[in-house]
């Protein structure tokens, strides 16, 4: 039954454009999560890069000469030597990546669940369908996000070049996109996509399956309805499950 045009305009945006709303909601949630956790990612990357650079220069004596030791000392060293905001240096490509990846995989999963696989007669979504749908959604989401993932890694590698005293290759995110495109063409933006989608398939097999199972349980066994609050709670629980893996 179609909804009259006048009545359709009165519907919330989430009901008028469910796919677009799902993409934006997932992208916003991913952006907030990335901003909150990026200093940890940057600190981890600095530790890895300084270890590799020191080994290349000094060999076995590199451990004694490492300027930072441990996550906390590394973070404090970045703040003291470079400034507090440098903890978010390079966050732009990471946000691009998570918006495309998270939005793409959630929209793909919802479409597979509603239009391709379908639910059973009791409105239950079987586990095997969640597993397959999660893996396919992860593959598609990661494939779409691979150019941003590549730029993120390349920008992080600039820190290693700086530690080694080499000239930087990129002036910023957009320059990195343009340079990779100029040197490798369109195919260059998808370098390394095969192992990336393999990992994404395995991660989302657990992540989205847990999300859908938790949401179904909440809708059936609690006063919660199938709305944004339930989706957010299910996503949080699914994220907690992934973090413990």
Determine the pLDDT at residue 57: 59
Residue 245 pLDDT greater than 50, yes or no? no
Q: Is residue 5 part of a domain?
A: no
More confident residue, 134 or 45: 134
Quick one: 144 and 120 in the same domain?
Answer: yes
Q: What is the pLDDT of residues 2-13, one digit of tens each?
A: 445 555 555 555
Domain boundary among 88, 121, 148: 88
Residue 54 forms part of a structural domain: yes
CA gap 17, 56 in Å, rounded: 53
Query: Are the CB atoms for 155 and 93 separated by under 8 Å?
Result: yes
Same domain, 173 and 105: yes
Q: Are residues 146 and 228 in the same domain?
A: no
State whether 186 and 110 are in the same domain.
yes
Domain contains 20: yes
Q: Is residue 9 part of a domain?
A: no
Greatest alpha-carbon span in the chain: 75
pLDDT at 73 over 50: yes
Domain extent, residue 94, equals: 90-191
SS3 string, 36-52, reads HHHHHHHHHHHHHHHHH
Distance CA 105, CA 187 (A): 22
Report pLDDT for 142: 94
Q: Among 6-20, 94-108, 187-201, 206-220, which is the least confidently predicted range?
A: 6-20
Examine the domain organization and report whether 154 and 169 are in the same domain. Answer: yes
Least trusted range by pLDDT, from 28-32, 64-68, 192-196, 206-210:
64-68
* Residues 121, 147 within the same domain: yes
Q: Is residue 137 part of a domain?
A: yes
Closest CA to 196 of 101, 131, 130: 101
pTM for this structure? 0.73
Looking at the fold, whether 50 and 136 belong to one and the same domain comes out as: no
Task: Examine the pLDDT at 141 and tell me if it is beyond 70.
Answer: yes
- Residues 34 and 107 occupy one common structural domain: no
Between CA 84 and CA 116 the distance in angstroms is: 48
Give the C-alpha separation, 14 to 22, whole Å.
Answer: 8
Say whether pLDDT at 179 is over 70: yes
Domain for residue 6, yes or no? no
208 & 240 share domain: yes
The answer to whether residue 3 is domain-embedded is: no
With respect to residue 1, please indicate whether it lies within any of the assigned structural domains.
no
Q: Number of structural domains, the chain? A: 3
What Å distances lie between residue 243 and 31, 60, 210, 239, 240, CA to CA? 17, 34, 12, 6, 5
**94 and 18, same domain (yes or no):** no
Residues 160/53, Cβ–Cβ less than 8 Å = yes
Domain match, 129 and 181 both: yes
pLDDT at residue 60 tops 60 = no
Q: Do 75 and 114 share a domain, yes or no? A: no
């Amino acid at each position: 039954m179609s909804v009259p045009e006048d009545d359709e305009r009165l519907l919330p945006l989430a009901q008028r454009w469910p796919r677009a709303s799902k993409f934006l909601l997932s992208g916003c949630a991913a952006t907030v999560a990335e901003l909150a956790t990026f200093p940890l990612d940057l600190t981890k990357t600095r530790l890895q890069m300084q270890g590799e650079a020191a080994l290349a220069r000094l060999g076995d004596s590199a451990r004694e000469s490492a300027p930072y030791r441990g996550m906390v000392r590394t973070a404090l060293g970045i703040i003291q030597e470079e400034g507090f905001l440098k903890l978010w240096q390079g966050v732009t490509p990471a946000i691009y990546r998570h918006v495309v990846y998270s939005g793409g995989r959630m929209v793909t999963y919802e479409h597979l669940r509603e239009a391709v696989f379908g639910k059973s007669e009791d409105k239950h979504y079987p586990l095997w369908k969640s597993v397959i749908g999660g893996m396919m959604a992860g593959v598609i989401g990661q494939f779409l996000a691979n150019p941003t993932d590549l730029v993120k890694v390349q920008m992080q590698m600039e820190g290693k070049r700086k530690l080694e005293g080499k000239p930087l290759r990129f002036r910023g995110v957009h320059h990195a996109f343009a340079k990779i495109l100029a040197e490798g063409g369109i195919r260059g933006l998808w370098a390394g996509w095969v192992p990336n989608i393999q990992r994404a398939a395995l991660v989302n097999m657990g992540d989205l399956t847990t999300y859908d199972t938790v949401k179904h349980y909440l809708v059936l066994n609690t006063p919660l309805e199938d709305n944004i609050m339930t989706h957010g709670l299910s996503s949080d629980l699914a994220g907690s499950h992934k973090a413990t893996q």
